Amino acid sequence: MSAAPLAERVTLEPLLWITACLALALAPHVAALPIWVTATVAGAAALRVLLAVRGRDAPPRAIRFVVSALAIGLLFVQLRTFNGLSAGTALLSLIAGLKLLETQGRRDIYVITMIIYFLSLAALLQGESFWLLSYLIGVCWLTTSALLRLTSSASPGQWRRSVRYAGRILAQALPLAIAFWLFFPRFGGPLWQLPQDGGGATTGLSDSMSPGDITDLANSDEVAFRVRFSAGTPPSDERYWRGPVLHDFDGHAWRRTDSGPVRPPQLLLDGPAYQYTVSLEPNQHNWIFVLDYPSHWNVPRGFLTSDYMLVQPTPIAQPLDVVATSYSHARAGEPLSAGMRRRDTRLPPGRNPRSLRLAQELRAAHPDDMDYVHAVLDMFRDQPFFYTLTPPRLAEDTVDGFLFDTKRGFCGHYASAFAALMRAAGIPARVVTGYQGGTYNRFADYWIVRQSDAHAWDEIWLEGHGWLRIDPTSMVAPERVEHGLNDLAVAGQALTSRWQQRTPSWLRDTRLRLDALRLLWRQRILTFDQNSQMQLLGWLHIPEPNGQKLAFVLAGCLISGMLWLTWQVRRDLILRPRDPVARAYDTLCKRLATVGIPRSPHEGAEAFAARVAAQRPDLGSTVITLCRRYSDLRYAPSATPDARSAAAFSAGVRAFRPRGSRASS
Out of 108, 307, 400, 411, pick the active-site residue: 411
**Phi-psi bin for 246: left (phi > 0), alpha (psi -120 to 50), beta?**
beta
Nearest residue to 626 (alpha-carbon basis) of 642, 606, 640, 611: 606
CA distance 655 to 645: 15
State the DSSP H helix or E strand holding residue 278, giving kind and residue range, or none if neither: strand 267-280
Which amino acid makes up residue 383?
Q
Q: Among residues 108, 453, 471, 487, which one is catalytic?
A: 471
Task: State the alpha helices, DSSP H only, in 27-101.
Answer: 35-53, 61-79, 85-101
Q: How many of the other CB atoms lie within 10 Å of CB of 609?
A: 26
Is residue 395 within 8 A of residue 448, CB to CB? The reply is: no
Burial zone of 473 (CB within 10 Å; 0-12 exposed, 13-18 middle, 19+ buried): buried
Is-catalytic flag, 374?
Answer: no
Give catalytic status of residue 471 as yes or no: yes
Triad 166, 168, 174: Cα angle to 5°:
110
What is the length of the chain? 665
- In sequence order, the β-bridge partners of residue 242 are 290, 434
* Residue 436 φ then ψ, to 5°: -135, 135
What one-letter code names the amino acid at 450? R
Pairing of strands 310-311, 320-332: unpaired
Report yes or no: 245 and 432 within 8 Å, Cβ to Cβ. Answer: yes
CA distance 13 to 595: 50
Q: Catalytic residue among 455, 487, 515, 627, which?
A: 455
Residue 572 CB burial class (10 angstroms; 0-12, 13-18, ≥19): exposed
Would residue 557 show up in a list of annotated catalytic residues for this protein?
Answer: no
Whole-number Å distance between alpha carbons of 569 and 172: 10
* CB-based contact 613:619 (threshold 8 Å): yes
CB 5 within 8 A of CB 108: no
- Bridge partners of residue 588, in order along the sequence: none
Strand pairing category for 439-441 and 454-462 = unpaired
Distance CA 527, CA 523 (A): 6
Distance CA 622, CA 628 (A): 10
The Cα 149–Cα 229 span in angstroms is 53
Quote the CA–CA distance of 132 and 138 in Å, as a whole number.
10
Strand 240-246 to 290-291 pairing: antiparallel
**Active-site residues: which are they?**
411, 455, 471
